[in-house]
């Protein structure tokens, strides 16, 4: 990264030097032999050239950033394994408990709100504590982990916001069956997250996980309001969060 910064500084200095030389040449030419209109037109040409050089500088910075991602993709391990693993454990267990509550009389007293609300609260509290504990680590992690972390943080917040919104709508309409929308939306967002992560980290197996999420979404929708939907959802969470999260944690331990 130090080499990239030094190269960028030299590149900017060269651009300003070229601008200065062009300005001196412009004044020497049109200031002596030309009119003020010609001088103004020449200056506008330099300004246009400067903008083009600035665009070139930004393009170079973008290319350098992509080079960094490509280099990290093969070397730096992802640090998102633990949050994904725990998401699979907590919400997969919640899906199985929900299935038991609608299938077996012994679990009949457990409400849907207590199951999913408790799971969401447990994961949120853990996430806040984990984030505060590792906030110094997040500041020095590589570009790849920043991008992946931002993607999954956005997905997690979107799921939380959608669940709260769905709960409010269900309460206002007095229709608890609207909760069936939650499972396909979650898997669709998981699929999107894995596709993006696969591209950033250059690990193609993650793309297969994302495609698997997309394939399961219509099946989840077809099984709406059936107990089997919860079983399929639990298996999908195991395959899209628990197992991939465990693999990422194992790889991180091997590298470190």
Stated pTM of the model? 0.70
**What is the per-residue pLDDT across 151-162, written as a single tens digit (0 to 9) for each?**
998 999 999 999
Q: What is the pLDDT of residue 208?
A: 95
Of 55-64, 73-82, 139-148, 175-184, give the lowest mean pLDDT range.
55-64
Q: pLDDT-derived band of residue 25, with 50, 70 and 90 as boundaries? A: low
Q: What is the pLDDT of residue 23?
A: 55
pLDDT reading at 20 higher than 80: no
**What is the per-residue pLDDT across 72-97, written as a single tens digit (0 to 9) for each?**
455 567 777 899 999 999 999 999 99
Q: pLDDT-derived band of residue 44, with 50, 70 and 90 as boundaries? A: low
Q: What is the pLDDT of residue 234?
A: 96
Mean pLDDT of 239-252: 92
Of 10-19, 116-125, 174-183, give the lowest mean pLDDT range.
10-19
Q: What is the pLDDT of residue 137?
A: 61
**Higher-scoring residue by pLDDT: 136, 232:** 232
Q: pLDDT-derived band of residue 254, with 50, 70 and 90 as boundaries? A: confident
pLDDT reading at 138 higher than 80: no
Token pair recorded at residue 114: 């207590």
């Amino acid at each position: 990264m130090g080499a990239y910064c030094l190269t960028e500084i030299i590149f900017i200095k060269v651009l300003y030097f070229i601008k200065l030389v062009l300005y001196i040449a412009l004044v020497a030419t049109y200031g002596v032999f030309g009119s003020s209109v010609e001088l103004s037109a020449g200056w506008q040409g330099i300004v246009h050239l400067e903008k083009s050089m600035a665009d070139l500088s930004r393009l170079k910075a973008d290319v350098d950033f992509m080079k960094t991602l490509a280099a990290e993709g093969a070397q730096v391990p992802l640090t998102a394994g633990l949050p994904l693993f725990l998401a699979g454990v907590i919400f997969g267990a919640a899906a199985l408990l929900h299935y038991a509550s609608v299938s077996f009389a012994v679990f009949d007293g457990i409400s849907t709100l207590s199951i999913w609300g408790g799971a969401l609260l447990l994961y949120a509290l853990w996430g806040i504590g984990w984030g505060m504990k590792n906030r110094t680590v997040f500041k020095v992690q590589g570009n790849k982990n920043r991008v992946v972390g931002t993607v999954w943080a956005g997905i997690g917040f979107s799921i939380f916001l959608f669940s709260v919104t769905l709960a409010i709508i269900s309460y206002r309409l007095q229709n608890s069956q609207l909760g069936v929308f939650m499972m396909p939306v979650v898997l669709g967002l998981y699929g999107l997250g894995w596709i993006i992560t696969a591209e950033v980290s250059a690990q193609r197996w993650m793309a297969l996980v994302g495609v698997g999420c997309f394939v399961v979404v219509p099946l989840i929708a077809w099984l709406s309001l059936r107990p089997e939907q919860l079983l399929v959802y639990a298996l999908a969470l195991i395959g899209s969060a628990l197992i991939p999260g465990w693999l990422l944690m194992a790889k991180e331990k091997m590298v470190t």
